[in-house]
Amino acid sequence: MTEGNFVDYVKIHVFSGKGGKGSAHLHREKYITKGGPDGGDGGRGGHVIVKGNKNLWTLFHLKFKRHVKAEHGGNGSKQRSSGSQGADEYIEVPLGTVIRDSETNEIIKEITEDGQEFIVAEGGKGGLGNWHFKSSTNQTPRYAQPGIDGQQVDITLELKVLADVGLVGFPNAGKSTLLSVITAAKPKIANYEFTTLKPNLGIVEYRDFKTFVVADIPGIIEGAAEGKGLGHRFLRHIERNSTLLFLIPADAKDIKKQYDILLDELKRYNPELMDKDRLIAISKSDLLDEELRAEMKQELDKEFELPYIFISSVAQMGITELKDKLWQMLNKEPV
């Protein structure tokens, strides 16, 4: 999937169908001139329903769909015939999609399962036909109920990427390069900041045909929790990942400081992110000779309680060990 085709945020105005009118028909036949009321009920208007689809990865198919309308219900007719129900309109979304009310920004529902359905706008109820209103004092009611109007709602659909591992790091830390090495994904790679503007997903093929999903997410900068840089647009994708892989380049001035800044941004955005499993990968480790690596290892052992691993995507160094470690963390296997 190319980066331009990844859409994770759309706004849609939805209209449910109006209910059909009840009929005020009076029964008439050749030899029955005053047969009484027999008007049928109006049909229900169509719902607008959001439905989960496990085969979708993006909201791109909804990018230019600004309005979604369901069908109106049919009107009732004679011989107590009910009007047809309006056809429901479905909006299919990837798993991990959050539905918000555009006006209040309140979360209405999260779609996390394949086939899960949620009605965002209910169709209007059909009106009752005149035969419902017949009574001992009113044998021939000449009125029926009109159908109830459908609903109009502005909704926002936000996709939170569903991946097992989220790559966390500053811009240009080597996340895209790592993803291209451990998966078949082909993210845009260049030697400047913010090459990745939207998340990239890749499937890591592990031993014995086992797989897990990794998401390369746009780099954090200081102040991301307040919306600076790519801000919240990046951070919401982290919420779904069960394991966070912090990528810090070996040539960083202060590895511990970089990690602390990244962690602080996540904590300020959502403190629950602190409960996720974490692993630190020191990228671009091919820049270090054995002596430098041993020296850095001594410092890191003092500074970090978390597990860390030296890797180099270009030199294919430590990649197998990284996959092993991530698989163990995801499946809670003893190291």
SS3 letters across 130-161: HHHHCCCCCCCCCCCCCCCCCCEEEEEEEECC
Annotated binding residue at 173? yes
Annotated binding residue at 212? no
Annotated binding residue at 154? no
Annotated binding residue at 218? yes
Annotated binding residue at 247? no
Strands 277-283 and 243-249: parallel
What distance in Å separates the CA atoms of residue 169 and residue 249, rounded to the nearest whole number?
9
Annotated binding residue at 284? yes
Annotated binding residue at 283? yes
For the chain, what is the largest distance between any 2 Cα atoms, rounded to a whole number of angstroms?
Answer: 109
Where is 215: in which H helix or E strand?
A: strand 211-216
Annotated binding residue at 324? no
Annotated binding residue at 195? yes
What distance in Å separates the CA atoms of residue 223 and residue 234, rounded to the nearest whole number?
12
Annotated binding residue at 15? no
Annotated binding residue at 285? yes
Coil, strand, or helix at residue 231?
Answer: helix
Annotated binding residue at 170? yes
Annotated binding residue at 169? yes
Please say whether the beta carbons of 217 and 176 come within 8 A.
Answer: no
Annotated binding residue at 198? yes
Annotated binding residue at 70? no
Annotated binding residue at 112? no
Residues in contact with 53: Cβ distance below 8 Å, sequence separation at least 6, in sequence order: 92, 93, 94, 95, 114
Q: Is the dihedral of CA 54, 58, 59, 61 positive or negative?
A: negative
| Tokens 């082909």 -> residue | 186
| Tokens 């769909």 -> residue | 65
Please calculate the CA angle 111-112-118 and round it to the nearest 5 degrees.
30
Annotated binding residue at 197? yes
Please say whether the beta carbons of 99 and 48 come within 8 A.
Answer: no
Annotated binding residue at 312? yes
Annotated binding residue at 176? yes
Annotated binding residue at 165? no
Annotated binding residue at 187? no
Annotated binding residue at 147? no
Residue numbers belonging to the annotated binding site? 169-176, 194-198, 216-219, 283-286, 312-314
Residue numbers belonging to the annotated binding site for GTP? 169-176, 194-198, 216-219, 283-286, 312-314
Residue numbers belonging to the annotated binding site for Mg(2+)? 176, 196
